[in-house]
Structure 1
Amino acid sequence: MLEIGLVILGFLGMEIFSWAFHKYLMHGVLWSIHKTHHQKQLGHFELNDLFSVFFGSIAIILIVFGSGDFDYRFWIGCGITLYGLVYFILHDILIHRRAIKWKRPADYYLDGITRAHRAHHQSNQRDDSVSFGLLLVPRRYFKQRKDKTRTYINNH
């Protein structure tokens, strides 16, 4: 039971950490890397993908060092890895349609986080963005739209 709690802690901790990291560092001193995500891309990859490599490396290190005794590091690393998988599916596949061009299912929650992410991308400037979270976004993005058409953030 403790293990499940540690996985949840790693997962939720990543949402909180990544919100702050995104708002204060990626839209701050690391903007030169992150701005590639706010610009139209010609290829499949962007410099901003280095952040995924960085976070993935932290998860791998925790899992490797915690795997001997399956201690807290292992389980927190699993939570971070699970967050990375959810991030990839929601952000890269369903919102940006980067890796796989799946049709996004009609879903109240997915529509809300997509609207929040679209609001974040309305600006390609460092200081004009809103809504920095992935899973936890302001409630106003979940209000029902009168227009039922779907839009994707397809800047790639």
Structure 2
Amino acid sequence: MIEAIGFFLLGFVLMEVSGWAIHKYLMHGPLWMIHRTHHEHSNSFFELNDLFSLLFGGIAVLLIVLGVGELDYRFWMGTGISTYGMLYFFLHDVLIHRRVKWLDRPKSGFLKGILKAHQAHHQSRKRDGAVSFGLFLVPRKYFKQKER
């Protein structure tokens, strides 16, 4: 059981770390033409950028399917990635961007810091000049900022 928890956490953490690197170096690099749709205003519910979620979700599903027979490391890493994806949807699409208007934006605490970091990321609508590329791992300064 400890091994399963370890692989679950590994999948989750690797998603945040690789997501940060992919976001900074690929999405704000050679894949900007796709990711740009997330930095531009749109009246559409879907963005071309949503293809990245399908890619990451597809990897998670593949790992789960390959590992479900034996409940091996692939299954647990896939569920860790899936859990990350569900939290990403909730934090990023529901709380931050309000693509689904289930809840109000956070007003205090950890979630408010994540919101501030993401708002700072979106201050630049260009490929270069963006900051804060992670979802959970964001600079401490966003949790200490005073309201303006």
- Normalising by structure 1, what TM-score? 0.91
Instruction: Tell me how far 1:5 sits from its aligned partner.
Output: 1.1
Aligned identity (percent) is 59
For residue 12 of structure 1, what is the amino acid of its counterpart? V
Over 3 Å counting, the alpha-carbon distance change for 1:106 and 1:146 in structure 2 is: closer
1:23-69 per-position Cα deviation (integer Å, ceiling 9, x unaligned):
00000000000000000011100000000000000000000000111
1:11 is displaced (CA, Å) by: 0.4
Residue ranges of structure 2 left out of the alignment (5+ in a row): none
Q: Which runs of 5+ in 1 are unaligned?
A: 148-156
Paired position in structure 1 for 2:35: 34
Report the count of equivalent residues. Answer: 147
Corresponding letter in the other structure for 2:133: F
Name the residue aligned to 2:9. 8
| Structure 2: distance between partners of 1:97 and 1:47 | 17
Partner of 1:153: none
CA distance in structure 2 between the partners assigned to 1:75 and 1:127 by the alignment: 36
Name the counterpart of 1:94: 95
- Tell me the residue number matched to 1:52: 53
**Alignment-mate amino acid for residue 75 of structure 2:** F
Residue range with higher mean Cα deviation, 99-108 or 66-75: 99-108
Query: RMSD over aligned Cα, in angstroms?
Result: 1.0
- Give the 3-state SS of the residue equivalent to 1:8 in structure 2: helix
